[in-house]
């Protein structure tokens, strides 16, 4: 049997991928377990319940539930955000807290006595967020909301795979690449 360069690269890449994954499997398992446990218990690891309520309101304003379509709140995006601020976005937690304070100042200036952002109606929330949409806080929240809505459920968001269902993404255990002209030589044998 003749071996091709493609066979060599595929075998080598598979071996490297398996080795890399094997060395990091405990970290992946712990992350997934922590995300699952915090979502199941409703507990947050770095956010206070008040911060979580406000950030969840921001996320729900970015991706709202419309009619029978789920939004960020339905998909549990706040648990992804909490997990992000504990891990890869840990350096941004202080800026997020400052952004929340600034957001509340805008709410108070625009709607005196209305209370926190989370208590505003949807149109009023959108109005306040439009004022900050070019800032770093909104950019971070938009990124985290979208990532939490459509990421792997084991990362804390996309509960019940609602984000994937919203997109029409078919979740299969294994994927097979589409075969085309680039595989013609391999398929001929």
Query: For 39-89, how does the pLDDT look when each residue is reduced to its tens digit (9 = 90+)?
Result: 555 689 999 999 999 999 999 999 999 988 899 999 999 999 999 999 999
Provide the domain limits for residue 126. 5-171
Residue 26 falls inside a structural domain = yes
Residue 185 falls inside a structural domain = no
Residue 123 falls inside a structural domain = yes
Point out the residues of the chain with pLDDT beneath 50. Answer: none
Please give the model's pTM, rounded to 2 decimal places: 0.70
Output the CA–CA distances (angstroms, integers) from residue 45 to 30, 104, 116, 122, 155, in the order listed.
14, 23, 22, 27, 14
Number of domains into which the chain is organized: 1
Residue 189 falls inside a structural domain = no
Residue 17 falls inside a structural domain = yes
Output the CA–CA distances (angstroms, integers) from residue 47 to 20, 32, 89, 136, in the order listed.
32, 18, 13, 19
Which pLDDT does position 38 carry in this prediction?
53
Residue 92 falls inside a structural domain = yes
Residue 180 falls inside a structural domain = no
Residue 25 falls inside a structural domain = yes
Which pLDDT does position 4 carry in this prediction?
63
């Amino acid at each position: 049997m003749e071996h091709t360069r493609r066979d060599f690269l595929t075998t080598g890449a598979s071996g490297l991928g398996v080795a890399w994954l094997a060395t990091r499997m405990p970290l992946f398992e712990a992350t997934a377990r922590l995300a699952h446990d915090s979502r199941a218990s409703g507990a947050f690891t770095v956010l206070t319940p008040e911060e979580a309520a406000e950030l969840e309101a921001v996320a729900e304003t970015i991706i709202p539930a419309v009619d029978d379509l789920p939004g960020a709140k339905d998909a549990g995006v706040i648990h992804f955000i909490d997990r992000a601020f504990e891990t890869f976005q840990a350096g941004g937690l202080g800026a997020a807290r400052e952004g929340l304070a600034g957001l509340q100042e805008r709410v108070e200036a625009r709607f005196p006595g209305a209370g926190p952002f989370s208590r505003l109606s949807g149109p009023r929330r959108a109005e306040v967020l439009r004022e900050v949409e070019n800032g770093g806080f909104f950019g971070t929240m938009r990124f985290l909301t979208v990532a939490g809505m459509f990421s792997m459920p084991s990362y804390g968001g996309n509960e019940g795979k609602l984000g994937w269902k919203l997109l029409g993404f078919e979740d299969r255990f294994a994927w097979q690449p589409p075969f085309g002209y680039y595989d013609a030589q391999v398929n001929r044998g």
